[in-house]
């Protein structure tokens, strides 16, 4: 039996609170969780949560039979044969889902969730956070799964395992193969974060994604949770803000047919049809647009490069304190281009807004 100090050391190996994470830990919590911890350290409003570290994932792979099965299936994949990639990927994921989670890892996850939710009722988002996300020369963001409105420690444990398994979906395997990453060298951390009850949410980029103009902040927004905006499932409202003057220079209000909201009874998220009188209403007021712009601008300054920011307005927080950051990652399109090679494009030549340049949509699961 573990004594108190041994139990704490075990938990520290497998669990790190975002608020207590230091830069030396970033390599153990993946790109997404490291971004959250960095923002919290700089005083940015971010929903509370914790990371299940890469040590926990590595503990799963210490099962010799599981690791051998994964390696054999990876070696047998015929890359370029889509059907074979999908088949082998599904078999790898099933092997991970069927494997027993190390008891110390499971206990640490349950303990960390109970500290956040003593009544076992707090809804959380469970998000994959791979170690190779948002590298300068490759971005794995969006290739693994995210699960929304997860309630209860049993469900959290289940979704952490599902995030590990999603490291081996067919798209992720193919992407790593094309970019010459060793499939078993990439590690998976998982973020468990208090769910935002969003009245509106979306993304902001601290440059114009069509022209690369860094004097602009471009915001896409819709009612409800922001995942349909990030994934391109809906056409969002679009706002352009002058970065220096912080003035709204352009707005385009979309016909928003549905929103992603919480179903508290069923403990999940659902798509809800937006009533006719609200469909063409702006999802943000001008004051809220400027608040999002200020947040994005401050994150660009903090991170030292153009940012792609996910944000939400939480209906459960007081007005004026309800804007929270959910993610901030380096912009990965224009930042890779040399100024002399950037093409001149008119707004008419591409899709307006952010969605046309997002590298990969999130895979959202319920």
Say whether 120 sits in a helix, a strand or coil.
coil
Residues β-bridged to residue 308:
205, 329
Six-digit token string for 16 = 């790190």
d(CA 36, CA 48): 9
Rounded to 5 degrees, what angle do the CA atoms 110, 113, 118 make?
105
Beta 363-365 vs 145-151: how paired, if at all?
Answer: parallel
Question: Can you point out the beta strands (E) in 140-197?
Answer: 145-151, 188-194
Six-digit token string for 168 = 């081996």
d(CA 107, CA 133): 27
Q: H/E element holding 56?
A: helix 54-61
pLDDT tens for the chain, 366 residues long, are 445 444 454 557 999 999 999 999 999 999 999 999 999 999 999 999 999 999 999 999 999 999 999 999 999 999 999 999 999 999 999 999 999 999 999 999 999 999 999 999 999 999 999 886 544 444 455 578 899 999 999 999 999 999 999 999 999 999 889 888 889 888 999 999 999 999 999 999 999 999 999 999 999 999 999 999 998 899 999 999 999 999 999 999 999 999 999 888 888 899 999 999 999 999 999 999 999 999 999 999 999 999 999 999 999 999 889 999 999 999 988 866 655 444 444 333 333 444 443 333 344 555
d(CA 351, CA 252): 13
- The separation between CA 304 and the C-alpha centre of its own chain, rounded to angstroms, equals 20
So what's the pLDDT on residue 61? 92
Q: Which domains does the chain have, with CATH numbers?
A: 4-194 (3.30.1490.20), 198-358 (3.30.470.20)
Read off the pTM: 0.84
- The separation between CA 329 and the C-alpha centre of its own chain, rounded to angstroms, equals 10
d(CA 125, CA 269): 11
d(CA 169, CA 177): 12
So what's the pLDDT on residue 336? 65
Nearest alpha carbon to residue 58 among 170, 189, 192, 191: 189
Indicate the Cα dihedral angle 155, 150, 62, 37, nearest 10°.
Answer: -150
Say whether 3 sits in a helix, a strand or coil.
coil
- Furthest CA-CA distance within the chain: 67
So what's the pLDDT on residue 363? 47
Six-digit token string for 8 = 């704490």
Contact 140, 130 (CB under 8 A): yes
Nearest alpha carbon to residue 56 among 186, 160, 183: 160
d(CA 17, CA 29): 10
Contact 328, 299 (CB under 8 A): yes
């Amino acid at each position: 039996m573990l004594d108190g100090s041994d139990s704490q050391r075990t938990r520290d190996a497998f669990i790190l609170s975002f608020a207590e994470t230091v830069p030396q830990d970033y390599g153990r919590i993946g790109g997404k969780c490291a971004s959250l911890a960095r923002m919290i350290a700089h005083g940015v409003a971010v929903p509370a949560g914790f990371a299940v570290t890469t040590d926990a994932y590595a503990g799963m792979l210490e099962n010799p039979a599981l690791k051998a099965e994964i390696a054999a299936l990876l070696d047998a994949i015929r890359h370029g044969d889509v059907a074979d990639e999908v088949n082998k990927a599904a078999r790898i994921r099933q092997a991970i889902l069927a494997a027993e989670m190390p008891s110390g890892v499971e206990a640490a996850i349950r303990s960390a969730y109970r500290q956040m939710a003593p009544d076992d009722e707090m809804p959380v988002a469970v998000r994959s956070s791979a170690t190779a996300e948002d590298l300068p020369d490759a971005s794995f963001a969006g290739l693994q799964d995210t699960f929304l409105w997860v309630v209860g420690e049993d469900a959290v444990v289940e979704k952490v395992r599902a995030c590990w398994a999603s490291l081996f979906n067919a798209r992720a395997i193919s992407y790593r193969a094309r970019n010459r990453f060793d499939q078993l060298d990439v590690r998976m951390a998982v973020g468990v974060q208090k769910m935002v009850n969003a009245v509106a949410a979306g993304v902001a980029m601290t440059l114009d994604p069509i022209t690369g103009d860094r004097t602009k902040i471009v915001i896409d927004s819709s009612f409800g949770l922001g995942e349909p905006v990030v994934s391109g499932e809906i056409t969002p409202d679009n706002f352009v803000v002058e970065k220096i003057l912080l003035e709204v220079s352009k707005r385009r209000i979309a016909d928003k047919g549905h929103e992603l909201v919480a179903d508290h009874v069923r403990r999940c998220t659902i798509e809800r049809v937006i009533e006719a009188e609200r469909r063409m209403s702006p999802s943000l007021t001008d004051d809220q647009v400027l608040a999002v712009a200020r947040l994005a601008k401050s994150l660009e300054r903090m991170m030292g490069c153009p940012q792609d920011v996910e944000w939400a307005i939480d209906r459960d927080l007081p007005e004026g304190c309800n804007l929270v950051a959910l993610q901030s990652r380096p912009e990965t399109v224009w930042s890779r281009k040399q100024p002399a090679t950037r093409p001149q494009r008119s707004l008419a030549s591409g899709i307006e807004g952010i969605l046309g340049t997002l590298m990969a949509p999130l895979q959202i699961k319920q």
